[in-house]
Structure 1
């Protein structure tokens, strides 16, 4: 009885084992190691990644432009063994302003054309940044750009005949010299430590060296003498006939029909704004064609032909032919 039971158990085990093998087509060789849930086997563990040094160079087609000109910015991103880094995003800056982002091409180059009218004229540091990607280190390069103010242009317009103003200003102008400091642009060379690998892309054979990078920079400043013209009004000419000096007086004008009224207050005991207030030495002219009348005022409320409180020298009115 026990012998039959043993045979039955053996036959049942063989049937179950055959079913498992046939269903999964499983082949078991060698030792079986059971790992806890969540454990990664040694064969599945990722090898340690190497961080490669990058070299970023920036080139400007112009170092000085007039506002409105296009500036071509080119950046080259390479590994230390001069192999290009492809499809890497590069951020371009002019001063603190980000002007664009471009990806590198198959040669590791990225080109951006920028309109210099976007920023005021001045001297700017142009920079380019690579943020890295976990296997390649971030890097930065910069250069300098001068944006000059555009020249003043005079646009021609149709000339129409018009009557000259009855009130003209005569000016006296002098040339004044002044000094300004301007940057002197040149070339600078910087030396950077670098790692070079001769067996890209494995980069197993590397050595330390240095690299020299030449770029545009400000090498100094020079003093430049410039001239400007300063002018002051010396007289008001009314109807091209009467000249009222404005050296000691500030004058304002008003037209009432054909009559031109000129009010002047002294720059010495007045506030010199062409308005007359009590206590200021004031003169008033009324011109009608080639006829003129003059009154004065100081402590009184009204203009009079002669004000006893008026103590400033009167203007030397000039009558011209």
Structure 2
């Protein structure tokens, strides 16, 4: 690690590496600080990523790191704790005591999936406990899918996952769909199982069903839950940025850091991209957002470089801004 970089990227997932690649190719000095906790680590493969369909997440990151390093970008393992503004940019402090300066920051720290507290659920997360049909629907097509009513979007998910399988069961888990919703479920052949879910049944390292409090076991091949998506926003909050609630159909489902379409936040010199600012973004979306933010950061630095060069040019020429205007 050198003392100062043009840009420090905090977070080395798809968004961070996408931004770092754009910046490194723009001949910027770039450091990526990554704590090695990718959100999609439990998943077997990345999907809906054009030309990379089915790539294991770790392999995709390894390819991205190699590409960034190939253009001179640096990557270091560590956890950024905070960032503070200084006269010439920012000071980023790492958990191990190291610190590094940057003219600009790109924060791509992602989010945390807060799962329901149910025995066996966390262990199967990303394997046969799922949440996104676009990420996993094809892999469980025509299988027995249980929709666990743990959030306000459970009924919506039951209808959505019905696109991938005719064998969808709504696990009411102590709730009761109203008359209209029950009719909608019945119309599409979605069975409703009453009773609270006590845990998951696992046999030979595979999900086999959901166990109700009554002891009954509902045979299933996959269980769908709705996590609470919480932005990993500690570094951004140290700069005064606060996460905002994301509402879907009037229900809060996530927190995320507000940013404009380019990733620029309300703090000058700080950009954010990926799930930390867009909780619904998939891997390819996050990579694209990182690229956009990287290009905008470079453009911002070009403007600063041009201003500084002009000031230096006029100083060496013995002219002032006013003199140049009169000329």
Do they fold alike, i.e. is TM over 0.5?
no
Larger relative strand fraction: 1
Q: TM-score range by the shorter chain?
A: under 0.3
Please, what TM-score do these two structures have when normalized by structure 1? 0.20
Q: Which has the larger radius of gyration?
A: 1
The structure with more helix, counted as a fraction of residues? 2
Q: Which has the higher contact order (CA 8 A, sep 6+)?
A: 2
